[in-house]
Amino acid sequence: MAKLARKLRLHDYFALAFGTMIGTGWLVLMDDWLGRGGPLGAILGYAIGGVTLLPVGYVYGQWVRRLPDSAGEAAYTAQVFPAIVSYFTGWMMLLAYFIVCPWEAVALGKLAAYIFPRLNTLELYRIGDQPVFLPRLVLGVALTVFLGMLNYRGIRLSANFQKLMTSAVLLCFVVIVAVSAARGAPANFHPLFSRTPLVSILLTLQIVPYFLTGFESAPKYAEESNPDFRERGYLWAIALALGVGGFFYATCIAAVTYALPWQDLLGKRFATAIAFERALQAHWPVSLIFTMALLGLFQCFNGNFAASTRLLFAFGRRGTIPSSFGGVHEGFQTPYVAVLGVTAGSLAGLFLGDALLVPVTEVGSMASALGWFAACASFWMVEKRAGIRMVTGLGILVSLILVLMKVLPIFPGHFSPAEWVAFGIWIALGAALHRRRG
pLDDT digits (tens, 9 = 90+) for 280-289: 888 888 888 9
For residue 414, give the CATH number of its domain.
Answer: 1.20.1740.10
pLDDT digits (tens, 9 = 90+) for 382-417: 998 988 999 999 999 999 988 888 888 888 777 888
Q: Is the residue at 438 inside a domain?
A: no
Q: Is the residue at 2 inside a domain?
A: no
- In terms of pTM, does the model score above 0.75? yes
What count of residues does the chain have? 438
Contact 6, 227 (CB under 8 A): yes
Angle at 347 between CA 342 and CA 350, to 5 degrees: 125
**Distance from C-alpha of 154 to C-alpha of 8, rounded to nearest angstrom:** 11
Q: Is the residue at 88 inside a domain?
A: yes
Domain count along the chain: 1
Q: Is the residue at 271 inside a domain?
A: yes
Q: Is the residue at 31 inside a domain?
A: yes
**Domain of 351?**
10-432
- pLDDT at position 243 is 92
Q: Is the residue at 69 inside a domain?
A: yes
Contact 133, 121 (CB under 8 A): yes
- pLDDT at position 394 is 94
Contact 79, 382 (CB under 8 A): yes
Q: Is the residue at 143 inside a domain?
A: yes
The one-letter amino acid code at 192 reads L
pLDDT digits (tens, 9 = 90+) for 20-31: 999 888 988 899
- Rounded average pLDDT over 258-287: 90
Q: Is the residue at 270 inside a domain?
A: yes
